[in-house]
Amino acid sequence: MTRIAVIGGTGYAGSNIVTEAVNRGHTVVSVARRVADDRVPGATYIEGSLVDVPSLVAELEGVDVVVVAVAARGAMLGQVRPNVAELLVELPRDVRVGVVGGAGGSLVAPGGGRVIDQPSFTEEYKPEALEAIGMLEDLESGTGGRDWFYIHPAGGFGAWAPGERTGTYRDGGDVIVTDADGESFISGADFAVAVVDEIESPKHSRERFSVGY
């Protein structure tokens, strides 16, 4: 089984990824600034932060895949992108890196504009979305041969609408996934299914993809 570290493993996306990966039999390390009281049985929990990359890298020795699931909001706004860039330099080259982005960087249609550039995109979410887009740009500009993937959730993705695990999702490539009514949603559990599927059976080597129903 794969040895997976999830940075931000106690947050909404991260905790769902930890749960899914443990349930599939992987060796999972959840990394967060504070160890959660509510832990997933079978996962290892350690304290660590993106703001101290050298110490973090030392704690991640021996992992195969690192998933960054830290949102660039609050105190972390402006800090996630540069520290992920440093992490990409400091990790061993054979470690695959996955980055959880946002819906804002996905396209509205093939060859079309970005979700963030639409008039309907909420202004207060733009700083977080732009930092997530910046991380994608850094990955696309080159990571010294490292393998990576970047995943856009659906627009309606978050703790406010957790949903259920169905085990299904649609892969939209670089286009946001919407249903027949134009709605964009995915549960936390099914988002995690998509992440762990990509780890187990890579289909997006050095590229991004979006998921939803």
Give the 3-state secondary structure of 20-51.
HHHHCCCEEEEEECCCCCCCCCCCEEEECCCC
> What pTM did the predictor assign?
0.96
DSSP string computed for 112-166? --BGGGSTTS-GGGHHHHHHHHHHHHHHHT--TT--EEEEEPPSB-STTS-----
On whether the CB atoms of residues 133 and 80 are closer than 8 A, the answer is: no
The parent domain of residue 149 ranges over 3-212
**CA–CA dist 64, 92 (Å, integer):** 10
User: Cβ contacts of residue 5 below 8 Å, gap of 6+?
Assistant: 28, 29, 30, 31, 60, 63, 65, 66, 67
pLDDT tens, residue by residue, 102-135? 999 999 999 999 999 999 999 999 999 999 999 9
In terms of pLDDT, which residue wins out, 143 or 23?
Answer: 23
On whether the CB atoms of residues 146 and 204 are closer than 8 A, the answer is: no
On whether the CB atoms of residues 163 and 199 are closer than 8 A, the answer is: no
Averaged pLDDT, 55-76: 95
**69 burial class (0-12, 13-18, 19+ CB within 10 angstroms)?**
buried
pLDDT tens, residue by residue, 70-110? 999 998 999 999 999 999 999 999 999 999 999 999 999 99
Q: Give Cα 184 to chain centroid, integer Å.
A: 17
**Confidence label for 164 from pLDDT (cuts 50, 70 and 90):** very high
Residue 173 belongs to domain with CATH number: 3.40.50.720
Q: How many domains does the chain have?
A: 1
Instruction: Using alpha carbons, select from 55, 59, 58 the residue that is nearest to residue 29.
Output: 59
The pLDDT of residue 38 is: 87
Instruction: Using alpha carbons, select from 74, 96, 86, 84 the residue that is nearest to residue 196.
Output: 96
